[in-house]
Amino acid sequence: MSEDLESLAREYKVVVRDLMKVYRRGTQEVIALRGVDFEVERGELLSIVGPSGSGKTTLLRMIGALDRPTAGVVIFEGANITQLSEEQSMDYRRRRVGFVWQTGNLVPGLTALENVMLPMRLAGKKRGEAKRRARDLLTDFGLEARLRHRPHQMSGGENQRVAICVALANSPDLLLADEITGELDTETADMVMETLKRANKEYGLTIINVTHNPRVARYASRVLRIRDGLIEGQRHVLYGDISEIDAKGRIVIPEAVRRLAGLQKRVVLQVTSEGLLVKPLRVAEAERVSEDQPGEETENN
Ligand SMILES: Nc1ncnc2c1ncn2[C@@H]1O[C@H](COP(=O)(O)OP(=O)(O)OP(=O)(O)O)[C@@H](O)[C@H]1O
Ligand SMILES: [Mg+2]
């Protein structure tokens, strides 16, 4: 970790740097995140807004260690969570982060009480203790009359409030919420957001809330806009890694960088005032090159 990053890691709850995610669908590649940078303060309620497909869910999945980025880091409380082992990453998901998704994360066959107990039981808490905390949480959020109800017997707003209690069950330090009001009417959405705001204020919980609804975003103290895999207003120089040039002038360009820059086997080198620009060799240029050099059409590497 660079010194700069280390001091940021000490100061902030979450630091996201150079985060990049490339999905492969068959031979097609989708670049969902193109180098995202931001920090989240301890106890902050941050909203991230952006159009459909801009990379919001992808970003939350990386922060929640549900998936690994192609490049870049996510630092949580000073630790790089993109380098955790399988076991550590499971522990992180179970104890440190809480998730709430758009469609709710409740188990259909279980009551509200049992749903909230579930993560605590999985983390090894005794039944009686889990039950007590589940009841307290649900009561705290005005759901004391719904303890024995199953998800299909409750309204959308009630389901999402139970889902928030599920996410809070193991007292996480960070709550990740993905479009949790997406399927609710305005009034119900406000109620759910008030619940989130209370969790933020009363438990000092750090929250990252993703939404495409500007009205919902306003509950946060800060709003970041993401578009096409980049935070708006950030001009990002992708992947600032250091490569060495060997005695023969060879340089190793990491695979992720080659993919992002669209580089294949042959490239064009241009010396600019900023340094060396390495560009993909386009088809037209390739034809011109081979016309100029009739003996060198075949690639020899
Ligand atoms: N598992 C996957 N495989 C391939 N491509 C994916 C995968 N998940 C997401 N993508 C692509 O990555 C891009 C970002 O997707 P993401 O789900 O992060 O967007 P989003 O901002 O959450 O959108 P929405 O508001 O619709 O939920 C999209 O182009 C999407 O098609
Ligand atoms: Mg999404």
**How many angstroms is it from 252 CA to the middle of ligand 2?**
35
- The answer, yes or no, to whether any atom of ligand 1 lies below 6 A from the CB of 227, is no
Residue nearest to atom 16 of ligand 1 (CA): 55
Indicate if ligand 1 lies below 6 Å from the C-beta of 220. Answer: no
**Per-residue pLDDT tens digits for 245-300:** 888 888 888 776 777 677 888 898 988 887 888 888 876 666 666 666 655 444 44
Task: Report the C-alpha gap between 110 and 148 in whole angstroms.
Answer: 9
Distance (Å, whole) CA 278 – CA 268 = 6
With a 6 A CB cut-off, is 251 part of the ligand 1 pocket? no
Q: Is the CB of 50 under 6 A from ligand 1?
A: yes
The CA 32 to ligand 1 mean position distance, Å, reads 6
- pTM over 0.85, yes/no: no
Query: Using one digit for the tens of pLDDT, what is the confidence trace for 49-103?
Result: 999 999 999 999 999 999 999 989 999 999 999 999 999 999 999 889 999 988 7
Q: What is the pLDDT of residue 285?
A: 64
Q: What is the pLDDT of residues 239-256, one digit of tens each?
A: 455 678 888 888 888 776
| C-alpha 215 – ligand 2 centre gap (Å) | 17
| Contact present, 183 and 102 (Cβ < 8 Å) | yes
Return phi, psi of residue 49, to 5°. -115, 155
Residue 56 beta carbon below 6 angstroms from any ligand 1 atom: yes
Contacts of 29 (CB under 8 A, 6+ apart): 22, 23, 259
**Residue 35 in contact with residue 72, Cβ under 8 Å?**
yes
Spell 169-182 as b/e; 16+ CB within 10 A means b: bbebbbbbbbbbbb
Residues in Cβ contact with 15 at an 8 Å cutoff, skipping those fewer than 6 apart: 5, 8, 9, 39, 40, 73, 74, 75
Q: Are 94 and 123 in contact (CB under 8 A)?
A: yes
* Of 207, 202, 116, the residue nearest 162 (C-alpha): 116
Percent of the chain with pLDDT over 70: 88
Query: Can you tell me the distance from the alpha carbon of 95 to that of 78, in angstroms, rounded to the nearest whole number?
Result: 16
pLDDT at residue 191 tops 60: yes
Q: Which ligand is nearest to the CA of 53?
A: 1
Reference 146, options 171, 177, 110, 196; nearest CA is 110
